[in-house]
Copies of this chain bind each other. A is one copy, B any other.
Amino acid sequence: MTTQARAAAESGIAATMDAIGVAAREAAVVLAHTPSEQKDAALRHMAEGLRESAGQILTANARDMQGADERGLSDAMLDRLRLDEARIEGMAGALEAIVGLADPVGRVMQAWTRPNGLQIQRVAVPLGVIGIIYESRPNVTADAGALCLKSGNAVILRGGSESFYSSRAIHAALAAALETAGLPATAIQMVPTTDRAAVGYLLGSMTEYVDVVVPRGGKNLIARVQRDARVPVIGHLEGLCHVYVDAAADPQMASEIVINAKLRRTGICGAAETLLVDLAARDTHLPLLVEALLAAGCELRGDETACSVDPRVNPASEADWRTEYLDAVMAVRCVDGVAGALAHIAAYGSGHTDAIVTDDPAAAERFLTRVDSAIVLHNASTQFADGGEFGMGAEIGISTGRIHARGPVGVEQLTSYKYCVRGSGQVRAP
């Protein structure tokens, strides 16, 4: 492409994106004051619309699947991309579940009265306009659109090119449902091009229109967003989660928690990747845990001590302590008590979710206090790291950032607040 042609294409993208930004900003003003009933009605229409459009959505998905096949995507990627009647029903059901959540907008979060009589309230308000950048799962189109609507935000969706046609068909159903409910269709917009320049423009040139960007996807996507964004970002880099089994742990409980944390679902960010075992439990707990994991079909990569327990344990390299396997593979290391576990997690952890198994309350409190992760658990599986399991309802992701939202990002975390101050003529003393 000539420089001139590129500039023309880019200016086309700039104009398209600016128009989306303006429309989103206008929609956000409406959504900020849309009654709960109207938002919930729109969500119900959206669920119904997905069911009614199942035919079109599946046709669009077949087109995406064919393209993905031609590009030689992995089986895991193809599975994420694939839709069927059951998955469409799952999407519709997820929208109906969001209807059931409390409206986070307008909540009085705190209220107090000053000695001078000023009554101060901190009241939840929407963030405004949210940009969501995601990869191949087309259901994110519906989930993210619905969570943003419920929280009174306008949203600009930019999905992966692999799922472009599926997302477009899903988006069409959502936009129609918004209009049926008397809301602007522009409350949920989708970037109508797979050109990567649109992502760059969204991240770098739309500070006027976009209040926050939420990336959902793999490491490379998140890293790119964090590098290029000039708007605030809520994202999580990775879930390198640890389970530490203390010498004071109940062996049976430890085994159940480790198996669940690693193997219940290996592909989610709350899945454990590294097992840390107290050196003092080398003879009591370690053999049981290794045997249980191997028997359950998990590949193990261990330090010298772990390798000495069973010849099927392969030696771990330094890289293993840093790897988010997202698979039936676990690194195993012996550490010197809670202090050793804290040091390992501080050095290698990703600040997502970490657990201790112990019957020693002091050890548990020390671990809960000292591990600097979004979620720290005592005697429970790391796979509970999920907005639904926290009772917060659907989530848009798990934040490992420290600003604004940490841990599950549900509808409450998609709000900001303002202070409403009611007086009776107060002026401030000189």
Interfacial residues, chain A to chain B (CB-CB below 8 A): 29, 32-33, 112, 114, 118, 120, 125, 127-128, 207, 211-212, 226-227, 230, 232-234, 250, 253, 256-257, 259-261, 264, 346, 364, 368-370, 372-381, 383-384, 389-391, 401-404, 406-407, 416-428, 430
10 contacts between A and B (CB under 8 A): A32-B372, A33-B370, A234-B403, A264-B427, A376-B418, A376-B421, A377-B423, A378-B423, A389-B428, A403-B404
Determine if A403 and B380 form an interchain contact, defined as CB atoms under 8 angstroms apart: no
Residue of chain B at shortest CB distance from A212:
B403
Determine if A428 and B374 form an interchain contact, defined as CB atoms under 8 angstroms apart: no
Residues of B close to A425: CB separation below 8 A: 250, 253, 256-257, 379-380
Determine if A118 and B418 form an interchain contact, defined as CB atoms under 8 angstroms apart: no
The 3 closest A-B pairs by CB, nearest first: A380-B423, A260-B427, A404-B404
Residues of B close to A33: CB separation below 8 A: 369-370
Residues of B close to A424: CB separation below 8 A: 379-380
Determine if B120 and A390 form an interchain contact, defined as CB atoms under 8 angstroms apart: yes
On whether A118 and B421 interact (CB within 8 A), knowing A416-B402, A416-B403, A428-B264, the answer reads no
Known: A29-B346, A125-B372, A212-B402. 17 other contacts (CB 8 A): A32-B372, A114-B391, A128-B402, A232-B232, A256-B425, A259-B427, A372-B418, A378-B420, A378-B423, A380-B426, A380-B427, A381-B426, A381-B427, A383-B427, A384-B421, A384-B426, A406-B418
